[in-house]
Structure 1
């Protein structure tokens, strides 16, 4: 973790965030003598303590991520999955109910092979457009992908 933090502290983006925090603290007044040169080490350390670094994947694993705990929870996980699958089958295959917004979003996300984090970062209007296209149906997905390819060729 310390190695990851040290690496991040060397990046220009981190330096820019430190300078922005320094300007915010000083009220927008910079030291004319130093100009855009390196800030002194003491100021950098003080500001560095205030900046909250969130490095994804570098944190220590929690107890719930351990293999033994997952093995103990396996029967619960399997039963929950079977219950969800049975509910899905009953609702959409037997009763032929229309997909709810959440289920249609899930199907769209899976058909596009987009991860949950990436899906959550997409703006709502784009999500609505993708869901309305019924991309979980193979023909609609193929036409959408052809449209995307044509658009990317046009941009070149």
Structure 2
């Protein structure tokens, strides 16, 4: 008799609790089903109608509709649950995780992970973050190059050789005038120093780390042209392999210079700044062959060591050239 009564009591309680099995108070809509909160049949879910349903319920349970404090507090609680249900079901990924939560309540730890992963994960499109980062890096590169070039110009204006060359060019163009004493005339409305500076900027050839700023030297530009650059490189590599590996043709001058630059470990821009005498020497010594280049490099290093030992000034000059590059007038001999 006692056992039968216990079974009847258990059967009376279980149906009321079945829907709450697996629900956690701190996840999604708490102990309620988010579909039931919005009065939606899960099997007939229609996202296009979700916003209309939400607005209707939100309006009905909005706290501002109630004046009594206890009803207002109750409405606030209900309003938050409705908003949570809407936020959960309107997002495709969140709704998929919630459906899994409903269908697999026993996987408690996984459901917790999915819930907090979606809450903590950034909502910003990763692609926008990447593009923004590239643009910021490129802007910094451009502004830094602009600042360094300005420093190079300021330095050049203090060097007598460049200043005198700019003054002579300004006089030839009629932009500057000299008096009987050979000094620049001061003319109202004209800044002689500004004219000289403009001529220096126009004619100065600055290379290395202090060259003039350009968008073509930025990270963003290299990212844009990367597909084209890659295709060109693969095309060049294929031709090189066909000509000099399969057909075993003799290296032409362009190929020889490429191998020399590769052995030197410098960029194309740096290689192009070598004098004709240096390039001719490298070709005469057949430095496109590894063994010849090693010998030439050893001799060059020994020569450099001797110069460094003889002159501390030369050492400072080489360090400056490595970091800055060169500064010269375009037409300077």
TM-score range, shorter chain: 0.5 to 0.7
Distance in 2 separating the partners of 1:109 and 1:101:
12
Q: 1:140 is matched with which residue?
A: 292
Q: 2:328 is matched with which residue?
A: none
C-alpha offsets along residues 85-141 of structure 1, whole Å, 9 cap, x if unaligned? 111111111111001111111111221223333332334343233123232333212
Higher radius of gyration, 1 or 2? 2
Structure 2 residue 154 is matched with structure 1 residue 7: yes
C-alpha offsets along residues 47-100 of structure 1, whole Å, 9 cap, x if unaligned? 4486261475443525x9562x65454333322221211111111111110011
Q: 1:151 is matched with which residue?
A: 303
Structure 2 residue 231 is matched with structure 1 residue 83: no
| 1:107 counterpart (229, 242, 259) | 259
Structure 2 residue 116 is matched with structure 1 residue 116: no
Q: Kindly tell me: are residues 106 and 16 of structure 1, through their superposed partners in 2, closer, same or farther at Cα, counting changes over 3 Å?
A: same
| TM-score, normalised with respect to structure 2 | 0.36
- 2:279 alignment partner, SS class: helix
Q: 1:51 is matched with which residue?
A: 199
| Residue pair 1:109, 1:119 contacting (<8 A) in 2 also | yes
Q: 2:105 is matched with which residue?
A: none
Q: 2:186 is matched with which residue?
A: 40
Q: CA deviation at 1:23?
A: 5.1
- 1:20 alignment partner, SS class: helix
- 1:21 alignment partner, SS class: helix
| TM-score, normalised with respect to structure 1 | 0.67
